[in-house]
């Protein structure tokens, strides 16, 4: 059973409270890292010993044949339709600002931005669907890829998915590694082969090429997955550098060397490993002695690899989580865990909290620094202000799913914003902007983010309803002889009267009736992902099935 995001957050909070919070999390990470390091060292010794002995390493690195007999057309997964459109073009992609987006300017710019905000409703909906697909990928990668293929944003072949993972912004590096490391799915393994073929390692040292390869994702935690990723990398490196392979006596030596580089990086830069216990240069050279069919590798080359890894550890490239992490690090005191794979910073604005709309306050009192994420509204206040940095104190956070936004004008607050819960009209917060420009831009971004989260909740509910379909009683499916009644109900609930109500118990409300109408919305924030998507106006959509999905079944929980 898939819980809603608010219940997932509450579940994590209760587990941390039960087992010790941050201390338990740190202990778990230490144990996991130690076990992974142990498994990798054990596997490396097996590979090295197999290379040194008479019985050579039996495994050979073979690329999957991803081309059709004509040699040009990539094979598609048999479960996907072949008529899918091509992935969106990348010519219109904008760069993500490397810093946290600044607060909304209080002075409108001189450019004619207003005309660019007005887009057809269908185009705005397509862009929202694209962002929903990215959110799904950052939660469950296989589900996100299937969603993007079903709605025509992505072609259903390994090559198109690989290019999407390499080039698109808005994808979590952690989830890209999780997707590429799914060893149980043949389609994912084909995507991995195509993924590494998109990278050029010509003329690079092994460790530098491996550093470039790892910058596109975060290595998964399991040693078997790391081994497979290194194996595919070694094959591509050999293809790009035939002169390096010619100097070796075995092609398997390159795989063992690349695996040793990953192991060296783990050993030198794991915080729990004491400095005197870390691998020295002589230890590293000794571990690789005789791996090239009984011959040693060049010591100067190994020394260069060791010094570069010691000076600069492997780090994944920045993604949208990097921006969120900067915000989290700037907040002092008790705060929620913000740096999640699916969370993206949309905008940042300075507003003023209103406690009584009929009471006049001093100018500037109750100043709030508001960070809008794609699923959360974070309210803070300035704690300390230095020359190069600002620290914030956490005030409260509000989930966007089920939120309602209204504008008001009062004698003392001419630019008011009222936030409430849609299900019971309970007031959440009242704010006032500095001017009309700030209010319009912030509210537009907020409403679009709410629609995005409502669409995510709709998909979750529909998925749970589909899971409940086999649970219907066979007696309910017998023909009673009466004509079908039309107009007696709408939506999935009317079609399935005997469904378990627990499927909807964790949702704030049924969001199928909350679809907004005709007004097109504008996305002008620094964290918007609209520029990375091209809208196709096509009538037909491929009815695709997922290539495979990871089994993540969990016992059903009773309704709360």
Three state DSSP letters for 460-486: HHHHHHHHHHHHCCHHHHCCCCCCCCC
Residue with tokens 């810093």: 99
| Ranges for all domains in the chain classified under CATH 1.10.1000.11 | 19-58+199-315
Q: H or E segment at 294?
A: none
Three state DSSP letters for 51-106: HHCCCCCCCCCCCCCCECCCCCCECCCCCCCCCCCCCCCCCCCCCCCCCCCCECCC
Q: Which among 201, 213, 292, 287 has a CA at the least distance from the CA of 252? A: 292
DSSP symbol at 348: E
d(CA 208, CA 3): 42
Q: Which among 456, 454, 429 has a CA at the least distance from the CA of 516? A: 454
Q: In what order do the strands lie in the sheet with 427-432?
A: 331-332, 390-399, 376-385, 367-373, 345-353, 427-432, 416-421, 403-408
Q: Where are the alpha helices (DSSP H) in 432-558?
A: 436-468, 491-495
**Phi, psi of 498, deg, nearest 5:** -100, 15
Whole-number pLDDT of residue 165: 96
First vs last Cα of the chain: how many Å apart?
13
In contact, 467 and 552? CB cutoff 8 Å: no
- Ramachandran category for residue 245: left, alpha or beta (phi over 0 → left; psi -120 to 50 → alpha): alpha
pLDDT tens track, the chain, 560 positions: 567 776 777 777 777 777 776 677 777 777 777 777 777 777 767 776 766 654 444 444 343 333 333 333 344 343 343 333 334 444 434 333 334 444 443 333 333 333 333 344 588 889 999 999 999 999 999 999 999 999 999 999 999 999 999 999 899 999 999 999 999 999 999 999 999 999 999 999 999 999 999 999 998 888 889 999 999 999 999 999 999 888 888 878 899 999 899 989 988 888 877 888 888 999 999 888 888 888 888 999 999 999 999 999 998 888 999 999 999 999 998 888 898 999 999 999 999 999 999 998 888 889 999 999 999 999 999 999 887 889 999 999 999 998 999 999 999 999 999 999 998 989 999 999 999 999 999 999 999 999 999 999 888 888 888 877 765 555 454 444 444 444 444 444 344 444 444 444 444 444 444 444 444 444 445 445 544 444 443 444 444 444 555 444 444 444 44
d(CA 445, CA 435): 16
In contact, 275 and 84? CB cutoff 8 Å: no
d(CA 200, CA 320): 25
Number of residues that make up the chain: 560
DSSP symbol at 365: T
d(CA 21, CA 32): 17
Beta strands, E only, 127-249 = none
- Tokens representing 352 are 């003023």
Whole-number pLDDT of residue 552: 43
In contact, 44 and 286? CB cutoff 8 Å: no
Share in percent of the chain as helix, strand, coil (round to 5): 45, 10, 45
Three state DSSP letters for 169-195: CCCCHHHHHHHHCCCCCHHHHHHHHHH
Q: Which among 137, 8, 220 has a CA at the least distance from the CA of 529? A: 137
In contact, 270 and 294? CB cutoff 8 Å: no
Q: Which among 497, 489, 350, 507 has a CA at the least distance from the CA of 431? A: 350
C-beta atoms surrounding 366 within 10 Å? 15
In contact, 139 and 342? CB cutoff 8 Å: yes
Whole-number pLDDT of residue 52: 60
3-class secondary-structure state, position 347 = strand
d(CA 152, CA 557): 35
Q: How is domain 343-448 classified at the CATH fold level? A: PH-domain like (2.30.29)
Given CA atoms 18, 21, 25, 27 in this order, what sign does their dihedral have?
negative
Residue 398, strand partner residues: 377
C-beta atoms surrounding 510 within 10 Å? 15
Residue with tokens 């491996």: 210
C-beta atoms surrounding 552 within 10 Å? 8
d(CA 38, CA 267): 10
Residue 367, strand partner residues: 352
Q: Which among 223, 172, 232 has a CA at the least distance from the CA of 201? A: 232
C-beta atoms surrounding 546 within 10 Å? 17
d(CA 160, CA 190): 11
Whole-number pLDDT of residue 388: 82
DSSP symbol at 508: S
| Ranges for all domains in the chain classified under CATH 2.30.29.30 | 343-448
Check whether domain 19-58+199-315 has CATH 1.10.1000.11, yes or no = yes
Long-range contacts at 406-415 (CB < 8 A, ≥ 24 apart): 407/439, 407/443, 408/357, 410/357, 410/358, 412/357, 412/358, 412/359, 412/360, 412/361, 413/354, 413/357, 415/439
Residue with tokens 């729990």: 272
d(CA 202, CA 204): 6
d(CA 144, CA 148): 6
Residue with tokens 């992609």: 93
């Amino acid at each position: 059973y898939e819980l809603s995001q608010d219940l997932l957050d509450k579940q994590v909070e209760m587990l941390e409270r039960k087992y010790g919070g941050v201390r338990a999390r740190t202990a778990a990470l230490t144990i996991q890292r130690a076990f992974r390091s142990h498994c990798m060292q054990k596997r490396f010794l097996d590979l090295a010993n197999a290379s040194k002995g008479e019985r050579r390493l039996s495994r050979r690195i073979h690329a999957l044949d991803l081309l059709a007999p004509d040699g040009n057309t990539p094979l598609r997964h048999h479960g996907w339709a072949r008529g899918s459109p091509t992935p969106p073009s990348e010519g219109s992609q904008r760069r993500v600002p490397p810093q946290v987006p600044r607060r909304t300017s209080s002075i409108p710019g001189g450019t004619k931005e207003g005309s660019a905000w007005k887009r057809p409703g269908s185009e705005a909906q397509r862009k929202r669907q694209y962002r929903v697909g990215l959110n799904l990928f950052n939660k469950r990668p296989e589900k996100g890829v299937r969603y993007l293929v079903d709605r025509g944003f992505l072609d259903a072949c390994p090559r198109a998915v690989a290019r999407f993972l390499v080039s698109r912004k808005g994808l979590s590096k952690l989830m890209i590694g999780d997707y590429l490391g799914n060893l149980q799915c043949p389609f994912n393994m084909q995507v991995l082969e195509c993924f590494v073929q998109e990278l050029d390692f010509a003329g690079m040292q092994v460790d530098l090429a491996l550093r470039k390869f790892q910058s596109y994702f975060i290595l998964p935690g399991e040693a078997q997955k790391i081994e497979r990723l290194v194996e595919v990398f070694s094959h591509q490196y050999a293809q790009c550098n035939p002169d390096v392979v010619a100097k070796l006596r075995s092609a398997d030596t390159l795989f063992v060397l690349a695996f040793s580089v990953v192991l060296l990086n783990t050993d030198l830069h794991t915080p729990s490993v004491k400095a005197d216990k870390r691998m020295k240069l002589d230890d590293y050279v000794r571990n690789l002695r005789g791996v090239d069919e009984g011959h040693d590798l060049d010591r100067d080359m190994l020394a260069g690899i060791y010094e570069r890894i010691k000076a600069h550890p492997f780090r994944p490239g920045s993604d949208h989580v990097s921006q969120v992490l900067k915000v989290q690090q700037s907040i002092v005191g008790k705060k929620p865990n913000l740096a999640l794979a699916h969370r993206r910073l949309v905008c940042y604005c300075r507003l003023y909290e209103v406690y009584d709309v009929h009471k006049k306050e001093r100018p500037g009192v109750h100043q709030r620094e508001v960070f809008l994420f794609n699923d959360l509204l974070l309210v803070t206040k300035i704690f300390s202000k230095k020359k190069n940095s600002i620290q914030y104190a956490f005030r409260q956070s509000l989930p966007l799913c089920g939120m309602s936004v209204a504008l008001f004008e009062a004698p003392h607050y001419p630019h008011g914003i009222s936030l409430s819960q849609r299900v019971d009209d309970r007031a959440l917060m009242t704010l006032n902007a500095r001017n009309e420009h700030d209010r319009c831009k912030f509210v537009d971004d907020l409403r679009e983010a709410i629609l995005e989260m409502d669409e995510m909740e709709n998909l979750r509910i529909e998925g749970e309803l589909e899971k409940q379909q086999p649970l219907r009683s066979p007696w309910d499916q017998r023909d009673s002889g009466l004509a079908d009644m039309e107009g007696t109900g709408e939506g999935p609930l009317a079609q399935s009267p005997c469904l378990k109500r627990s499927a909807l118990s964790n949702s704030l409300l049924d969001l199928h009736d909350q679809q907004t109408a005709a007004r097109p919305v504008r996305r002008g924030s620094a964290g918007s992902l609209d520029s990375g998507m091209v809208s196709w106006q096509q009538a037909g959509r491929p009815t695709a099935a997922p290539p495979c999905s990871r089994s993540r079944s969990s016992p059903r929980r009773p309704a709360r």
